[in-house]
Structure formats: C-alpha cells, structure tokens
C-alpha cells in the first residue's frame, strides 16, 4: 500500500499534546508485550519442569520459538502494506495470540519418569497436551507476525512526516512496551511458579485479550489511518476476496509453524540459509549498484547489524541460561520473601523504564555541547556494559558462593547493567538504519534488523546449551548445584571476555567506520 497522507486530527482527538490514538496503541502494545514476556519468562521452566525436557531440548525449542517470533513480522508487515491494512492485521494478530496463550493454559498431565526393567528410565509425556502446546506456539508465532510490525506503523501514521511530536510519541510507545514487559514477569512468573502453569499462561492470555478489547474499542481514535487498501476486498476466486485468502493463509501458516517448532534443527538451517541470502544480496547491491559513498555506508551498516546480532545473542541469555541459573544457583531470598526465578525477568525492563528519561535527556544535552558519542562508540559502550554484567556474574560465581549459590543481588545488578546496555544500543540502532541505508531499501534494512535479532535468539539458545544438564540429570528433582555453578562460571567468564573483545574492536575501528559513514554521526 502506498504511504497514506495523514489526515488532520481534530482538536477533540488530542489528549496531552498527542492524538488519543497514541494512548490506544500504547495500551494495546503494553498488554501485548505483557502477554509475550509473561509467557517467555515461564517457557523454559514449563518445558523442563512440566514436560521434563532436558536442557538441550528445552533451550532449543525456546530459541526456535523466539527466533520465529522475530522473523515473522518481516512478512506480516509486507502483507499488511499490500493486502490487509494495519488495523485488520493487528486485530487478526491479537486474536491469534489470545488463542495461543489460552491454549498454553491447557497444560494437560505432567510428565513422569518411569523406571524400566533394565534399570534405565523413560519420560512419559501427555501427547495431547504436548501437541496442544506446539499448536499454541504456532498461533503465537503467526499472531506476533501480524501484530508486532503493524502497530508501530500506525503510530507513525498518526503524525505528519515533519511533526516534531513523532519522536516523543515513539518514546512513549517504547515505554509501554517496557512497562508491559516489567509487569508480566512479575505477575505471570509468580502465578505460574506458585499456583500452576495454567495460571501464569492464563494471565498472559487475559492480558492479550485486554489489549485486543482496548484496540477494538479505541479504533475510532485512529481516524482511518490504518484502514485496508482496495485490494483487501477485491475478488480472487468466486466469492473469495484477497482478505479471505490471507486469512486462510494465516491458518495454513499456523499449521506450518506448529510442525516447524517440533524440528528445531530445521529452524536453524532455514535461518542460516535466509541470512546468507540477505547478506549476499546486500553485498552485491553495495559493490555493483551503489556509488562509493553509498557502498561505504551500506558496509558500515552491515557491520553494525553484525554487532547487533552479537549483542542480542548475549542479551537474550536472559530467557534461557540466566533463567535456569536463577532457578538453580541463585539464593532468591529477598527481605524475608523468596522471589520466583521467572520474576527476575522484570528487572531489565524496569531498569529501562526508569532510566529511559535520563537517556532521552542525555543525548540531546551532549549534542548541544558537541560531545554526543559517534555511533560506533555507542555500540562499543553497549558491549562494555554487557561485559561488565557477565563479568560481575563470573566474579560472583567464583568468589561469593554459599552452598553452590550466589545472592540474588548479584543477578539483579547484572540485569541492571544489561538494561543500560539495551538503552545504549536502542538509541543508535534504528537511527543508523535510516541514515546509512539506501533510501529505496530502508524498509528492507529494517527487516534485516529484525532478522538479525531473530538469528541472535536462535544463537543465544545454542550458547545456553553449553551449560545444559544432561537429559537424565535434568529430569530429576535433585539438581547438582556445584556442578552447574562451575559450568555457569565458565560461560559467564567466556561471554564477558567475548563482549570485551567486541568492545575493543569497535573502539579501535571507530575512526575507520566514522570515515566510511561520510558525515553521518
């Protein structure tokens, strides 16, 4: 769909200096992220404790799900632009996600370890419950693909191109995302680990349902900026319209992802192949169809997206290895209460919510006095904070353990550092895409950013399996904490060193990268 001119929004459609539609989108996305991060906080525990998957299988499935959840928005955005429009796409995505979350709330019977006559053991799982779980993941993956990219597009369409309020609108929108993430882990994590998995996943489903109702009820405040294109109602075959075909395709996609999440290795191969094709395309475009300045900028952008992939691989340890570490090797007693391991997932988004206003003030203030760091430096600082976080955990697991555990304060401190790192990279990642990319492929390069995060989530799960328990040990209740502590120490130390080396590389190449950016800061 061609870019729509933003219609003038009347005075009665404004609230606190912004269109009322912004607050509708803020609440919708807050509840969508509440549902996503609430389910994410519980997923690995659900797999290892309810279905008794070994760490390798659980982390592999977790990585495949999150990777696909970041990959499908690339396609969902294209479908909305050409066929559905943003309003219909967001509604469809929210409905699919509600079904997925409520499907997750059907947990079935817990798995059992059964001793065999030859002395071996077998894990018996509820087949119907397991397939319902896989189907629910398929619904969530497709739902995210339709909702995630298009709700952000609606935000931009509420404002004319040169409207100075657009930047602050995205800041508010991002705050909604982080607020939903912070609340979800605290609420869904507590309910799931205390009262039962169905309560945690059910709470995520209720959150998504509230978001859907807010979006439907507040649709009038969007003033028609997200309506379907003409192709939506065009006849394709008999009474079937383009919209009908897309809806049928969405059902087929759910079935496809239902099957695909059960083949995690295939997901990895598909991501690798698609990523290779994209990188080759960008290189060919840069060297054969660009001016020298355009080529230099595109190559720098490719380097930045590689750095983003590395950052996200470290950052997304939160839902995998760090989640299991919190459960097994962290003394979670805090002021007389025991914090659930999944609840600790709320620390990073809470840090971002609290510190975002400071960073929003900091960069313009530095720019006014000519001290705003260049983009490569900001990427390097991001790696510094990631290295400090993992270095802190490596130190704690080496020198401050009691009976194979560390105090929860160490993990909280590391999560705060990771939150600062995220704020640093968010401040630069999107702006470098729009300023360094060829104007005619900005949308595609935004899509490759999502692809980089998708690949990073899959890689993060692979990294986490380096400290995975063997399946036989993971299926029993007595976790060997001394053994896992040593493995986690080695992992955290290795990640800290890797982050430090990446930071050094970025700092050392800053002069070269800056020259190749040709005036872009």
Per-position DSSP letters for 381-418, written without gaps between them: HHHHHHHHHHHHHHHHHHHS-BTTBEEHHHHHHHHHHH
> Within a domain: residue 167?
yes
Whether residue 64 is predicted with pLDDT greater than 90 in this model: the reply is yes
What is the predicted pLDDT for the residue at 236? 75
Asked if residue 521 belongs to a domain, the reply is yes
What is the spatial distance between Cα 391 and Cα 410, in angstroms, rounded to a whole number?
11
Q: Write the DSSP string, 210-278.
A: HHHHHHHHTGGGGTTTTPPPGGGG-EEETTEEHHHHHHHHHHHHHHHHHHHTT-HHHHHHHHHHHHHHH
Q: Name the one residue in this structure whose structure tokens are 């370890």.
A: 113
Tokens of 152: 């952000």
Distance (Å, whole) CA 249 – CA 217: 27
81 band by pLDDT with thresholds 50, 70 and 90: confident
Average of per-residue pLDDT across 89-98: 93
Please tell me the predicted confidence (pLDDT) of residue 3.
45
Claim to verify: residue 301 and residue 211 sit in the same structural domain: no
Confidence of residue 1 (pLDDT cuts 50, 70, 90): very low
Is 217 found in the same domain as 178? Answer: yes
Residues 512 and 426 occupy one common structural domain: yes
State residue 4's pLDDT score.
47
CB 452 within 8 A of CB 309: yes
Domain boundary among 247, 262, 277: 262
Q: Indicate if the pLDDT at residue 473 is higher than 60.
A: no
User: Which is it for strands 406-407 and 330-331: parallel, antiparallel or unpaired?
Assistant: parallel
Query: In 46-126, which residue ranges form alpha helices assigned H by DSSP?
Result: 55-79, 86-104
Q: Which long-range contacts (CB under 8 A, 24 or more apart) does 74-78 make?
A: 74/149, 74/447, 74/450, 74/451, 75/145, 76/144, 76/145, 76/146, 76/147, 76/148, 76/149, 76/150, 77/149, 77/150, 77/153, 77/443, 77/447
Per-residue confidence (pLDDT) for residue 109, from 0 to 100: 82
Query: pLDDT category, 218, cuts 50, 70, 90?
Result: confident
How many Cβ atoms sit within 10 Å of the Cβ of residue 355? Answer: 16
- Pair 331, 206 in one domain: no
Per-residue pLDDT tens digits for 116-150: 777 777 888 888 989 999 999 999 999 998 988 88
Per-residue confidence (pLDDT) for residue 472, from 0 to 100? 52
Span 460-486, mean pLDDT? 75
Q: What is the pLDDT of residue 17?
A: 64
Both 231 and 360 in one domain: the answer is no
| pLDDT for residue 166 | 66
Assign 8 a pLDDT band (cuts: 50, 70, 90): low
Domain boundary among 244, 262, 280: 262
Buried b (16+ CB within 10 A) or exposed e, 442-468: eebbbbbbbbbbbbbbbbbbbbbbebb
Q: Check whether 419 has a pLDDT greater than 80.
A: yes
217, 246, 262 - which closes a domain: 262
HSE-up of residue 317 (Cα within 13 Å, Cβ side): 29
- Let me know if residue 30 belongs to a domain: yes
Residue 498 has a CB neighbour count (10 Å cut-off) of 18
Q: Does residue 297 contact residue 518 with C-beta atoms inside 8 Å?
A: yes
- pLDDT confidence of residue 372: 83
> Is residue 178 scored above 90 in pLDDT?
no
Domain that holds residue 373: 291-521
User: pLDDT tens, 438-450?
Assistant: 887 776 787 788 8
Q: Measure the CA–CA gap between 450 and 463, rounded to whole angstroms.
A: 20
What integer pLDDT is reported at residue 322 of this predicted model?
A: 94
Would you state the pLDDT for residue 504? 97
Read off the pLDDT band of 2 (50, 70, 90). very low
Question: Given this model, what pLDDT does residue 434 score?
Answer: 76
What is the rounded distance in angstroms from the CA atom of residue 105 to the CA atom of residue 203? 9
Domain check: are 321 and 446 in the same one?
Answer: yes
Q: 81 lies in a domain?
A: yes
Q: Mind listing the pLDDT tens digit for each residue in 361-383?
A: 887 888 888 888 899 999 999 99
Of residues 403 and 143, more confidently modeled: 143
CA dihedral 284, 442, 461, 277 (to 10 degrees): -20
Whether residues 401 and 520 share a domain: the answer is yes
Share of the chain above pLDDT 90, in %: 43
Token pair for 246: 């897309």
CATH number of the domain bearing residue 239: 1.20.1250.20
Q: Of the given ranges (419-428, 430-439, 489-498), which has the lowest mean pLDDT?
A: 430-439
Residue 5 maps to a domain: no
Would you state the pLDDT for residue 386? 97
Tokens of 304: 């930045």
The answer, yes or no, to whether residue 11 has pLDDT greater than 60, is no
* Span 261-312, pLDDT tens digits: 999 889 999 999 988 998 999 999 999 989 999 999 999 999 999 999 999 9
Which of 235-244, 277-286, 332-341 is predicted most confidently?
277-286
Radius of gyration of the chain from Cα atoms? Answer: 23
How far apart are alpha carbons 440 and 447 in whole angstroms? Answer: 13
Query: Looking at residue 168, what is its pLDDT?
Result: 67
Regarding whether 98 and 21 lie in a shared domain, the answer is yes
Judgement on whether residues 58 and 195 belong to the same structural domain of the protein: yes
Supply the mean pLDDT for the chain. 86
Q: Does 252 lie in the same domain as 160?
A: yes
Statement to judge: residues 29 and 145 lie in one domain? yes
Q: Is residue 286 part of a domain?
A: no
For residue 6, what pLDDT band results from cuts at 50, 70 and 90? low
Average pLDDT over residues 345-363: 87
How many domains does the chain divide into? 2
- Give the mean model confidence (pLDDT) for residues 234-263: 89
Q: Is residue 130 part of a domain?
A: yes
Say which range, 168-172, 181-185, 229-233, 337-341, has the weakest mean pLDDT.
168-172
Which residues are paired to 19 by β-bridges? 14
3-state secondary structure of 117: coil
Question: Do 142 and 190 sit in the same domain of this protein?
Answer: yes
- Residue 326 inside a domain? The answer is yes
pTM (2 decimals)?
0.88
Residues near 77 by Cβ (< 8 Å), separated by ≥ 6?
Answer: 149, 150, 153, 443, 447
**pLDDT for residue 437:** 85
Q: How far is CA 497 from CA 93, 383, 387, in A?
A: 40, 10, 7
Q: Measured between alpha carbons, how far is 219 from 66 in angstroms, rounded to an integer?
A: 29
CA-CA-CA-CA torsion sign (109, 267, 142, 210): positive
């Amino acid at each position: 769909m061609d870019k729509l001119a933003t219609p003038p929004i009347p005075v009665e459609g404004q609230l606190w200096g912004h269109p009322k539609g912004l607050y509708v989108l803020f609440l919708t996305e807050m509840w969508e992220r509440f549902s996503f991060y609430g389910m994410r906080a519980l997923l690995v525990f659900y797999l290892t404790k309810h279905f008794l998957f070994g760490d390798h299988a659980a982390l592999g499935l977790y990585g495949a799900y999150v990777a696909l959840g970041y990959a499908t928005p690339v396609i969902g955005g294209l479908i909305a632009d050409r066929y559905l429009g943003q309003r219909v796409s967001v509604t469809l995505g929210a409905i699919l996600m509600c079904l997925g979350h409520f499907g997750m709330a059907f947990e079935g019977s817990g798995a059992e370890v059964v001793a065999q006559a030859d002395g071996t053991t077998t894990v018996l799982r509820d087949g119907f419950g397991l397939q319902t779980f896989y189907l629910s993941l398929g619904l969530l993956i497709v739902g995210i693909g339709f909702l995630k990219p298009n709700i952000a597009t609606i935000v931009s369409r509420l404002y004319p191109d040169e409207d100075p309020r657009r930047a602050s609108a995205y800041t508010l929108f991002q705050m909604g995302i982080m607020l939903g993430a912070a609340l979800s882990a605290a609420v869904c994590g507590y309910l799931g680990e205390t009262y039962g998995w169905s309560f945690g996943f059910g709470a995520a489903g209720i959150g998504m349902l509230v978001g859907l109702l807010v979006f439907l009820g507040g649709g009038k405040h969007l003033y028609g900026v997200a309506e379907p294109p003409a192709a939506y109602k065009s006849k394709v075959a008999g009474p079937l319209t383009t919209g009908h075909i897309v809806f049928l395709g969405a059902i087929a996609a759910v079935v496809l992802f239902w099957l695909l999440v059960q083949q995690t290795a295939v997901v990895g191969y598909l991501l690798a192949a698609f990523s290779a094709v994209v990188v080759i395309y960008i290189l060919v475009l840069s060297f054969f169809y660009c001016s020298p300045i355009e080529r230099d900028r595109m190559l720098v952008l490719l380097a930045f997206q590689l750095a983003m992939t590395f950052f996200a691989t470290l950052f997304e340890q939160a839902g995998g290895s760090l989640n299991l570490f919190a459960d097994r090797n962290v003394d979670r007693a805090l002021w007389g209460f025991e914090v659930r391991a999944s609840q600790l997932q709320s620390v990073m988004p809470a840090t971002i919510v609290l510190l975002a206003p400071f960073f929003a003030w900091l960069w313009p203030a530095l720019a006014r006095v000519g001290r705003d760091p260049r983009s490569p430096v900001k990427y390097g600082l991001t790696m510094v904070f990631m290295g400090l976080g993992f270095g802190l955990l490596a130190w704690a697991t080496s020198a401050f353990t009691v009976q194979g555990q560390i105090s929860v304060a160490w993990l909280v401190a590391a999560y705060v550092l990771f939150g600062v790192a995220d704020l640093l990279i968010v401040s630069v990642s999107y702006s470098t895409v729009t300023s360094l990319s060829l104007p005619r492929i900005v949308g595609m390069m935004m899509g490759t950013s999502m692809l980089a995060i998708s690949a990073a989530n899959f890689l993060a799960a692979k990294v986490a399996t380096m400290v995975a328990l063997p399946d036989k040990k993971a299926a029993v209740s007595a976790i060997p904490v001394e053994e896992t502590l040593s493995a986690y120490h080695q992992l955290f130390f290795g990640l800290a060193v890797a982050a430090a080396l990446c930071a050094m590389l970025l700092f050392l190449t800053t002069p070269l990268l800056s020259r190749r950016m040709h005036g872009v800061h």
